[in-house]
């Protein structure tokens, strides 16, 4: 179950954040490692910021990003 489903990480329903989260993807490399990124020409700044916020605050309670 994701942190969104558990409501441990919440986002404001802004179109830019939602679009970045929906577009974010993973690619399995020939080495077996996984690469996470936005498709070419799109941004992933908000997704990365949400990840850093979650990493830094995950023990203190719900995190709300806007």
For 9-32, letters b (16+ CB in 10 Å) and e give bebeeeeebeebeeebeeeeeeee
Residue 33 lies in a domain: yes
In this prediction, residue 33 carries a pLDDT of 97
Domain that holds residue 47: 9-65
In the chain, the number of structural domains is 1
Pick from 18, 15, 17, 20: nearest CA to 43: 20
CA dist 64 and 7 (Å) reads 10
The answer to whether position 3 is within a domain reads no
φ/ψ of residue 64, rounded to 5: -115, 125
Specify the pLDDT at position 24: 94
* Predicted confidence (pLDDT) per residue in 2-34, tens digit: 777 888 778 888 898 889 999 999 999 999 999
Classify residue 48: in a domain, yes or no.
Answer: yes
On whether residue 20 sits in a domain, the answer given is: yes
Run of H or E residues at 10: strand 9-11
């Amino acid at each position: 179950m994701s942190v969104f489903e558990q409501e441990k990480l919440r986002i404001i329903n802004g179109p830019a954040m939602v679009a970045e989260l929906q577009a974010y993807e993973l690619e399995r490399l020939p080495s077996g490692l996984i690469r996470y990124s936005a498709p070419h020409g799109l941004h992933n700044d908000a997704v990365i910021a949400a990840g850093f916020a979650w990493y830094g605050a995950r023990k203190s309670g719900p995190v709300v990003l806007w």
